[in-house]
Amino acid sequence: MGEKEQGNLVIIGGAEDKEADCVILRRFVELAGGKDAVIGVVTTATEYPGEAGNQYRMIFIELGAKRVEILFIAKREDAAEPRVVDQISLCSGIFFTGGDQLRITSILGGSKVDEAIRGAYAKGVVIAGTSAGASVMSNTMIVEGDDVDTAKKCTLNMAHGMGLLEEVVIDQHFAQRGRINRLLTAVAQNPYVIGVGIDEDTAIVVSPSATFEVIGSQTVTVIDGRYIKYTNVSESKPNEPLALSNVILHILPTGYSFDLRLRRPFLRTKEERCDTKNIDK
């Protein structure tokens, strides 16, 4: 498994707490530098960029960030603006709002802004995204799929994401929208990738060591298809149910972590934040 990341990623399942303890958003600000944090909010995914941008700007300022810039990038022309590239170069944290993940990749993909974000990430800038902003983090992303139907090939559409997190596919609003079947379908079609389903008000904090920590109020579901013994995904018709055997499934709440290289969960306690003792031995 190759290098996964250069900095930290905060990948949020959507509907994160914005009014009480703000555990997830507070962690993002801390990783971005705390009182010295300069945060850029990318509103490309949403149809309401002004409303979303201002909401997150107020939250991040209240959480102690030094400065928050709203990066309005609504079309391809905006993604080539030197002004926006300059803004990104000053950021210690970049945050993608929710909305439509295909807007992010189709508007930013291959642009000067895309290049600037990747360059910032390589230098250690923390990148975060919620909902659609979470889906784009991986190199393979789910664009759309049926939330309630049986796992079938026809229920899922995938595309190339930003590729900040390799060999992983992310799904969000996971338990709340019953998306396990579509994540199983994604893993069946790409068994080498790890499926990560993130519940609302829950996030994974991915470190340069290729491990992630679960934070928030709900859980993260990890699907590992490496040891699948049988699947009919290549022979079945689009509307036929998928068959899968020997899929490995992990459910991880706050306090647990996952090693993406070893594909193993481990318990991370308050007293032993760096403990890497596997819980499945």
pLDDT score for 5: 47
Instruction: Specify whether 3 is catalytic.
Output: no
Any idea what the CATH number is for the domain that residue 189 is in?
3.40.50.880
Q: Which residues pair with 171 in a beta bridge?
A: 197
Residue 110 lies in a domain: yes
pLDDT score for 144: 87
Instruction: Specify whether 30 is catalytic.
Output: no
Q: What is the average pLDDT value for the chain, to the nearest integer?
A: 92
**Number of domains forming the structure of the chain:** 1
Q: Are 174 and 182 in contact (CB under 8 A)?
A: no
Residue 4 lies in a domain: no
Q: Which of 16, 135, 173, 257 is catalytic?
A: 173
Q: Which of 111, 131, 138, 257 is catalytic?
A: 131
Q: Tens digit of pLDDT for each residue in 38-66? A: 999 999 999 999 999 999 999 999 999 99
Angle (CA) 92-195-210 rounded to 5° is 45
Give the number of other CB atoms < 10 A from CB of residue 184: 21
Residue 277 lies in a domain: no
Residue 128 lies in a domain: yes
Which domain, by its residues, includes 103?
Answer: 9-267
Read off the amino acid at residue 80.
Answer: A
Check pLDDT > 90 for residue 4: no
Residue 1 lies in a domain: no
Measure Cα distances from 183 to 1, 13, 39, 153, 256 in Å. Answer: 21, 14, 31, 11, 21
Instruction: Specify whether 160 is catalytic.
Output: no
pLDDT tier for residue 279 given thresholds of 50, 70 and 90: low
